[in-house]
Amino acid sequence: WTPAGDGDYQDIRYETSGEPHAGIAKITINRPEVRNAFRPQTLMEISNALEHAREDTSVGVVILTGEGPLAFCSGGDQRVRGDTGYLTEPGKPAAIGRFHVTDLQIQIKRLPKPVVAMVAGYAIGGGHVLHLVCDLTIAADNARFGQTGPKVGSWDGGFGASLLRDLVGPKKAKEFWLLCRQYDAQQALDMGLVNTVVPLDRLEEETVQWCDEMLALSPFALRLVKSSFNAHEDGYSGIQQLAHDTNLLFYASEEAQEGREAYKAKRAPDFSRFPRRP
Ligand code: 2NE
């Protein structure tokens, strides 16, 4: 793994893979002293790294993970939780809170490349929702999953409810939120919450193998697969994404180019040579 991106991250590491596994970007939440809880800075850095991964045409798949074997992510850092959201400058009396994680969840879902959650240890609270919004989850056998919101006076009624419900069904999803229990890796696999469970010492090897398999496939087909799922889940915004993804392909056609060339040449477009497909 080679450091990449802006390079001056405080809360994360952003790295890209080399041969023979080139094409993978890895974002690691690096706050193991708080079980990789996120503060606004963490989320802004992940967002920045995702933007790098998106723009980097050598990257085909992104891994999101947490530093160390104890936690993927334990959600919002409760030490910087203010009365109006999470604070960027917790010491300041006039600090205004926000939920930066909302934008990040959407960014992960919209990223036109697969994002794989590589989970060792706890994926809890907002950290659990982060794995939900990833496209795939590879869990180590020590992984533990759960929501804690109602214990700490919070909840995520967006993706934390809807995606969880899609994955495990409404009764089980409500159990997560109404009881705040934790579930081990095997239970998570049995309920369809994760894609596979592997021994902790094989977690990265297995995740990289899954990434390599995706990297061998058509990148544009993967992009459309991802946006097809969003079209179903995200209403008009999801349809918009899929529509513009297909527009990318249409722009490459002579038919679309005839419209552009005619406009630039200030002449009427001639679409007569293009078939009206059955
Ligand atoms: C994750 C869990 C289950 C781990 O337990 P354990 O026993 O392995 O570790 P421990 O001792 O609890 O934690 C180690 C250190 O990390 C800190 C702890 O306070 C402790 O610090 P020290 O005592 O060593 O100083 N730590 C862990 N999680 C933290 C957190 N989220 N914020 C700040 N410090 C944290 C266990 O630690 C746990 O249950 N953690 C809390 C999980 C939680 O409730 N997260 C917030 C949910 S709300 C949320 O994420 C959210 C939302 O609902 C809506 C929008 C945005 C965010």
Least confident of 15-24, 70-79, 88-97, 167-176: 88-97
- Looking up tokens 């802004």 gives 44
User: How many CB atoms lie under 10 A from the CB of residue 167?
Assistant: 16
Percent of the chain's residues with pLDDT above 90: 92
Rounded distance between C-alpha atoms, residue 199 and residue 197, angstroms: 7
pLDDT, tens digit, 9 for 90 and up, residues 84-132: 899 988 777 777 888 999 999 999 999 999 999 999 999 999 999 999 9
Q: Is the pLDDT reported for residue 76 higher than 80?
A: yes
How far, in Å, is the centroid of ligand 1 from the Cα of 148?
A: 9
Q: Is 5 annotated as a binding residue?
A: no
126 lines ligand 1 (CB under 6 A): yes
How would you write 166-200 as a 3-class SS string? HHHCHHHHHHHHHHCCCEEHHHHHHCCCCCEEECH
How far, in Å, is the centroid of ligand 1 from the Cα of 78?
A: 7
Positive or negative CA dihedral for 250, 255, 256, 257?
A: positive
Residue 71's DSSP bridge partners are: 122
Over range 139-156, report the average pLDDT: 97
39 and 89 in contact (C-beta within 8 Å)? no
pLDDT, tens digit, 9 for 90 and up, residues 213-268: 999 999 999 999 999 999 988 999 999 999 999 999 999 999 999 999 999 999 99
Q: Whose CA is closest to atom 21 on ligand 1? A: 34
- Residue 255 half-sphere exposure, CB side, CA atoms within 13 Å? 10
Residue, of 179 and 92, whose pLDDT is higher: 179
Q: Whose CA is closest to atom 8 on ligand 1? A: 70
| Rg (the chain; Cα; Å) | 21
Closest CA to 116 of 138, 139, 101: 138
Closest CA to 104 of 134, 82, 83, 60: 134
Q: Which atom of ligand 1 is nearest to the CA of 155?
A: 53
Percent of the chain's residues with pLDDT above 70: 100
Over range 39-58, report the average pLDDT: 97
Q: Which atom of ligand 1 is nearest to the CA of 148?
A: 44
Q: Whose CA is closest to atom 1 on ligand 1? A: 74
Helix (H, G, I), strand (E, B) or coil at 256: helix
pLDDT at position 44: 96
The C-alpha angle with vertex 167 and arms to 42 and 149, in degrees rounded to 5, equals 45
Phi, psi angles (nearest 5°) of residue 60: -115, -20
Phi, psi angles (nearest 5°) of residue 151: -75, -35
Q: Report the predicted TM-score, pTM, of the whole model to 2 decimal places.
A: 0.96
Over range 30-59, report the average pLDDT: 97
> What does the mean pLDDT of the chain come to?
96
Q: Is 149 annotated as a binding residue?
A: yes
Structure tokens at 89: 């400058």
pLDDT at position 89: 82
User: How many CB atoms lie under 10 A from the CB of residue 191?
Assistant: 17
pLDDT at position 216: 98
Structure tokens at 153: 């006076």
E-strand stretches of the chain: 2-3, 12-16, 24-29, 61-66, 71-73, 115-119, 122-124, 136-140, 144-146, 183-184, 196-198
pLDDT at position 185: 98
Helix (H, G, I), strand (E, B) or coil at 141: coil
How far, in Å, is the centroid of ligand 1 from the Cα of 178?
A: 18
Closest CA to 11 of 55, 70, 77: 77
pLDDT, tens digit, 9 for 90 and up, residues 216-227: 999 999 999 999
80 lines ligand 1 (CB under 6 A): no
44 lines ligand 1 (CB under 6 A): no
pLDDT at position 245: 94
91 burial type by CB count under 10 A (0-12 exposed, 13-18 middle, 19+ buried)? exposed
